[in-house]
Amino acid sequence: MKIFLKKAILTGCFLGSLNAPMLHAIRLMHANVDASSAEHATFAQPIACTLFSSSGNLYTGTAQQGAQHYALSRGRLETRALHPIAGQYALLTQFPSIDKNAKKGDKEAEEKRKQEQRTANPLFDAAIAHIALVNPQSEAPVVVLKDEPHNLYFFDKYPQDGAHFIHKIESVRDASGTGIAGIMGLATTKNQTPVFIFASVKPAQGVCGDAGTGIAVMRVRENKVTEEIPDDKGAMKKVERTYISFAQACGKVGTYTQENPPIACAAALDRSSTCVKIGGDLAALNAVAMTYDTMLSRLYIAVTGQAGTQHQDGMCAIVVGQLVKDADGQMLLRPFAPDLFTQSHGNEIIGAKGASSCVSIHQLETLHTSTLLPYLIVLGGNGDAQSTKRTVYALPLVDKRNDQKLRVGFDAECGTLAAKDAVPRELFSDKEHQLATRVFEKQATTAADIYTTELSCSNAPAHVGGGPLPYGDITRVYVKHDGVYALVTTADPGKTAGVFFSQALFDAVGVVKGWTTWRRVAGVYYGVSDMFMHDISGDAMFVVNDGNNQMTNVVRTEWGTGYAAGIGPLVQVLNTLYSPENGGIHGLYTSPASKHGLHDIDVMIALGAHGLTLAQTGIGSGAFMRPLRGAEVINQPVVCSDGALTSFQPTRLLTITGGVLHELGPLVTAEIACSSDTNDGYLCVGGVGGVAVMRRPNGTGWNTQSGLGDYLVGLDTTMAFERLGNYRFVRRLVNDGAYLYVLTATELDRYEVTDLTLPPVRLASIQENPWAPKFDRFFDVVVSDDLVLLATTRGLYRTSDGVCAADVSAMREGAWTLVQLPNYDGAVLQLYACSATGSACDVARGPGGMVYALAGHRGRDYSRVYRLAIGSVETIGVAADTVAVMHDKKHESTLSSFVPFGKFCDHFATDGVIRMRTRNKDMHAQAHVMTSAISRLPLPLEEAATISALERSTASGVWLVAGDFGLLVNE
Amino acid sequence: MISIRNIVINGAITLVLSGMMHDMRAMSLVNFSQVYYRQALDLTRRTNVAVVVEGGFDAKGFDAHSDCVNVLQLYNPSQSSLAMLKGFDESSPQGALFTLLDAEDDGVRGRFAVTGTLHSIINGALITRVGIRHGFMFGVYVPFFHAQLSDVCWRDLTKQTTVQDQRVREELTNNFCANSAEFDENLALCTGWDRTGLGDITGLMEWQHDFPQAKPVLKIVQINTRLGLTLPTGLKSDSNKLYAFPFGNDGATGLLFGGCLGLNFMHRLWAGVDVELTHLFDNTSVRRIKVDPDQTDFLLLAKACVHNNWGMIQRFNLYLSADPIIAGLSCSFYYQFLKQGRVDLVVSTNDYDSVVANTAEYLKESVSHTAILRARYDFGVHLDEETRIKPSLSLFARIPFKGRRSVVWSSCGAMFDIAF
């Protein structure tokens, strides 16, 4: 083992020394900086704006001249390069004119004619201000140049001879129909037809918010014309050609006639607009952000502004735009919420009332949850622009329908703010009676109907991340499925920038009841301005800075052994230590610094056949936690044999083998158990041969007041692993409160951590017992306060109503209650808990959480995942509704599983964005990880037989896949 | 099935000892494949009675890739105890055990290398044949058979690397024989057997005629045609025992038809080709069937009533014979190709899937190639023409040399024939 470790460390250090600069080894996408260049950047010029399409294409625009044809670039996750699309030439007209007298086959003349049609591309070597995208069939960028902020360029979908047709709208008009000073933002109807482009414009005279400010609507149409062209024999033939027209519409709603024709102008949105002001005109109205929701067909417009100076003045910072049906671009602007704001409170999220009160919404995104409910994700809130850049809120949206499931008569309410106590209504398809969608119908009409900025349980559903992001100002919010990513470009002093993530937690009917607290993900440790997450491959793409606050780089994550400046060296060490011959890594345990027993460090424990490796993966507490990277982790490794720390020295990488651990065989589970009474912390491990606890001869562990700290301070040379009890086939160890729970295949025991020498209390057993259900075998357990969830061959059991974990006993009648899963009475194989804090032990605390229960039968080759909404038991204990099967439905009449898998799978893990499931090697395939019915993660698992763990590193947030191949990461 | 018959070919009796069919579909390829004996026969004699006895040795199997393997590995190189539990409901004992094992067959885990020795293979037959008129003959063949399987060994291949390995060992494979018997108390996978019984009795009508040729070398062209019926009198397979094959067509009635073209050169050398096809009529039986495609053929826990749609048995023989070498003595060499078509099962219950059941390896076609040497001495040359009884003795050896999904063995035997 020692030799292996030395070899592993050498390998890791070597890699580390090769890649001293932070970005050297990162998966850099390449554009106009040569890959072999020492510069290590994607672009030589800073990136001004970026846009990820829904299919994963990245469009970038450079901030300054010099990029030439790379001024506008496009790239994909798979290609690992960005390609220029701002060529030197563009075509003048959509179709070159046809010279009917031209001789057929005269290629020279033809080429000459084409050249004459070309003109200098205005985008070539330009600085780009804004990019948007329309993609009814293929993606077509819409661009605003920095030097021409009043013009709009639109790429035709069909390039010819390598040159794009570029349409141009010169002098976009403002709300008064005159020219503008500039375009402040863009949005489009995306893949919806008819295609419209929305531009927030500021008037030529004055500033943003003055009269003339508004939303310009540009329509994109496909027109068909019949032309005559010569055929092969020189005769003229008629052909139908499609060309695109691109023009600004009349955005103002009105009745137009021939005498009063519509003129191109923007829909007015200025300080005096009733959709944004309450009482008197706003004192200020600034930057405008927009997003269009294709499912609701609504344009959401966010503003930052200040109310008028009168006491009764106020503002609503979100406006809902609706294109009037068949009105060719006329747009109705309505307030997102009616005047329900209270004076002087200053805690309403999207509006305020009071003299000079400020509301600042910086960005909007819509979120359609996996429970089919719509939410508006808002970056900003009540306050000035500077103080609101760390808060992200989720607000429910109204989608009221009549009985025919149409919005007839309820159009005005669609997309507005729903009341926080709105109960969703389920809508089913007429023929198949399948669940089509869920809608909120109750509109927020009073102050009591809305969430506020106050951090309380009642407002938890609105506070994404559980509150403000503590790391720094959020540059951008990225929304995918049930997850919200907050991107930080510049962190607070002493903190590390990156990408932070929060997942929605649902109640039984699918309404968001809370959010997980912000946690770092994706192993990104530098400023990020935009990102795209591919939910099938698990890879992500980021626009990041170069360390000098210049956004010049585009990077991507990749499945593999990590990169040298990240977790790579640690992975190399572990993969050398835990070879496939010995089964590789049999279990993985990660724990954040917030875990009781850890003192400002994050740890990861890799469990092998007869030993384990304890690695410190992070340092610091709270927002100051910093992931350890590169050689930081593997410096000064220590190997202790005989299951004792005899040769222990302060280290960040401790490997313990032999002794009792050898007797335990393959180790599969670990836990850090702490006693609040004695302040002792213990490292407990379990395997085939039983449970062992690391402690001193006198029974004490490390002092949790000071340890386990940096360099594993707290451990000492007197500590050694000792057996605990007499177990076989341990499945899980859980520490919750004062207890250590030991789950084996045949029993569930509870120890008091304060004195582990005391005999355990047996909570459940497969022994025949007239008072207890017949279990057969146990698979998994989740313990949270009074709630114990037990996955068995006979289904899922919970502690019965009124029974608490401290009292529950197998000998007591009615201690366990079966949780009836819809249409299923077989075995539950795995429980995957999701709580606000990220700890499974908190799933029944605070706002509660969710548990994913993996069920299925290997013999019939199927699996399914059920979702359980877990209520809080902190105040009332376990009750009938504490564990509720979520209303996942396929058909009207019955509940169903959340995800039915066609094939059996061994493990399931999700963060609300990616749903990963593993299948070990069988007669037909090697071990693999799937994210959909047909998609496998691109992992190098050619020789793999077993996948033992799917975990997320608590320090860096990268996904970890462990098995007999060792460890693989997405970094 | 054992059927032995005498065929008159150019004044000779060809005794056909057909192979044996058994449940595991090594069928006739468990080499009682057909053997021809040619015996000089005085055509003036009307009746022949013969006894044939044959002893086999060196039994071996040929797998699907035609590789030579142990007889118990002809269908699968190893048997999967985990796959054995697949295809059953969660609530069934098999499904419950599979659930708690929580492990997958990865090609090694839960696998057994099964070996055994097939020996004491003795087969024989009583034959009587009566000549009628105009070249027509009718024969009855009553075969019997004995075989023994012993030294059965189930070697656990499961590693002890992962927790799944250890769980499978502890819960299943360490005491596999007892564990498997829990699902069916009659199941005896780990012990051998010793079985003796009748084969399928065959009745055969033949017609044969010689066409003399006035040519310098080719002297006679001989045509033989035959039509027969095999009756399901043979000992049937025992699905509770390991590879306990039937001594016949496993309860199926067969219709046999064939023909032979023989050429005589210079009155001393015979060469010919013989083709025989056997159609087995569908029947119904209770079989152990696959209920999951991953299952291996010896570890099938599900029993079901199935309709058997048998494949055709095809035998092709080429022969070369020197008759006589010296007075009364003749020698022959045969090459025999034997092919058994695949069997299709139709499960008679909705509990199981016929498509899955038909993925069993033992249902697929099997093939064997055999070389046969025979020497015959006709004692009639030492007797007067008027002597009523004329005996003859044949000694023969069969040497199988190639096959696919078949168990074969070498054998030596003798046939004593009396012509009246």
**A311 φ, ψ (degrees, to nearest 5):** -60, -35
Check whether A19 has a pLDDT greater than 70: no
Helix B163-171 to helix B93-101 angle (10° resolution) is: 150
Which of A609, A859, A945 lies at the smallest CB-CB distance from B98?
A859
Express as a percent the part of chain A with pLDDT over 70: 91
Q: What pLDDT does residue B3 have?
A: 31
Tell me the CA distances in angstroms from A482 to A332, A721, A804, A915, one per residue in order. Answer: 30, 42, 32, 11
**Averaged pLDDT for residues A506-516:** 94
Range in A88-97, A881-890, B243-252 the model is least confident about: A88-97
Interchain CB distance below 8 Å, A858 and B102: yes
d(CA A287, CA A283): 14
pLDDT at B41: 43
Greater pLDDT, A128 or A89: A128
pLDDT computed for residue B43 by the predictor: 47
Instruction: Give the pLDDT confidence score for residue A287 in this predicted structure.
Output: 74
Residues on chain A touching B290 (C-beta within 8 angstroms): none
Q: Note the pLDDT tens digit of each residue in A691-710.
A: 999 999 999 999 998 878 99
What are the tens digits of pLDDT across the range A64-95?
888 888 999 988 888 888 888 888 888 765 55
- Computed over every residue of chain A, the mean pLDDT equals 87
Token pair 């055999």 is found at: B370
> Residue A237 — pLDDT band, cuts 50, 70, 90?
confident
Question: Residue A920 and residue B96: Cβ atoms within 8 Å?
Answer: no
Are B100 and A687 within 8 A, CB to CB?
no
Residue A100: predicted pLDDT: 54
Q: How many CA atoms lie within 13 A of A732 on its CB side?
A: 20
Q: Which residue has the higher pLDDT, A800 or A222?
A: A800
Using one digit for the tens of pLDDT, what is the confidence trace for A601-611?
Answer: 999 999 999 89
Tens digits of per-residue pLDDT, A27-52? 788 888 876 666 678 888 889 999 98
**Distance in angstroms (rounded) separating the CA atoms of residues A291 and A215:** 12
Using CA coordinates, name the residue in chain A closest to B105. Answer: A922
Which residues on chain A are in Cβ contact (under 8 Å) with B80?
Answer: 923
SS3 for B149? Answer: strand
Does the pLDDT value for residue B29 go beyond 50?
A: no
How close does chain B come to A470, measured CA to CA in Å?
42
Question: Has residue A1 got a pLDDT over 70?
Answer: no
Span A800-813, average pLDDT: 71
Of the candidates B56, B67, B73, B72, the residue with the CA atom closest to the CA atom of residue B19: B56
* Mean pLDDT of all residues in A716-732: 93
pLDDT(B59) > 80: yes
CB contact under 8 A, A921 and B166: no
Residue A102 has what pLDDT? 55
Residue A99: pLDDT over 80: no
Mean pLDDT of B332-356: 92
**pLDDT confidence tier of residue A251, bands split at 50, 70 and 90:** confident
Sheet strands (E) in A372-482:
374-382, 392-396, 425-428, 435-439, 472-480
Report d(CA A555, CA A26) in Å as an integer: 7
A664 close contact with B: CB closer than 8 A:
no
By Cβ distance, the residue of A779, A829, A946 closest to B164 is A946
Q: pLDDT for B119-134, tens place per residue? A: 888 988 888 888 888 8
Banded model confidence at residue A106, pLDDT cuts 50, 70, 90: low
Q: Do the chains contact at A665 and B163, CB–CB below 8 Å?
A: yes
Mean pLDDT score, B188-202: 91
Contact state of A859 with B94 under an 8 Å Cβ cutoff:
yes
Question: What is the distance in angstroms between the Cα of B296 and the nearest Cα belonging to chain A?
Answer: 12
Residue B328, pLDDT score: 84
User: Over the stretch A254-291, which tens digit does the pLDDT of each residue have?
Assistant: 777 878 888 888 999 999 999 999 989 999 998 779 99
Backbone angles phi, psi at B69, to 5 degrees: -140, 175
Looking only at the bridges linking them, the beta strands covering A653-657 and A638-640 are parallel
Q: For chain A, percent helix, then strand, then coil, each to nearest 5?
A: 10, 45, 50
* pLDDT single digits (tens) A831-853: 999 999 989 999 999 889 999 99
Judged by a CB distance cut-off of 8 A, whether residue A827 touches chain B is yes
Q: Does residue A18 surpass a pLDDT of 50?
A: no
Q: Within 13 Å of residue A262, how many CA atoms lie on the same side as its CB? A: 21
Q: How far is CA A113 from the centre of its chain?
A: 51
Where residue A514 falls among pLDDT bands split at 50, 70, 90? very high
Distance between CA atoms of A302 and A351, rounded to whole angstroms?
A: 11
Mean pLDDT of A715-744: 93
Least Cα separation, residue A923 to chain B (angstroms): 6
Per-residue model confidence (pLDDT) at position A770: 62
What is the per-residue pLDDT for B13? 33
Average pLDDT over residues B409-420: 88
Percent of chain A topping pLDDT 90 = 50
pLDDT band at residue A116 using 50, 70 and 90 as cut-offs: low
Q: Is the CB of A280 inside 8 Å of chain B's CB atoms?
A: no
Q: CB–CB of A350/A395 below 8 Å?
A: yes
Q: What is the pTM of this model?
A: 0.88
When pLDDT is averaged across residues B234-261 and rounded to a whole number, the result is: 90
Closest partner residue to B107 among A665, A729, A923, by Cβ?
A923
Measured between CB atoms, which of A665, A793, A861 is closest to B96?
A: A793
B233 pLDDT band, cuts 50/70/90, is very high
CA angle A60, A61, A62 (to 5 degrees): 120
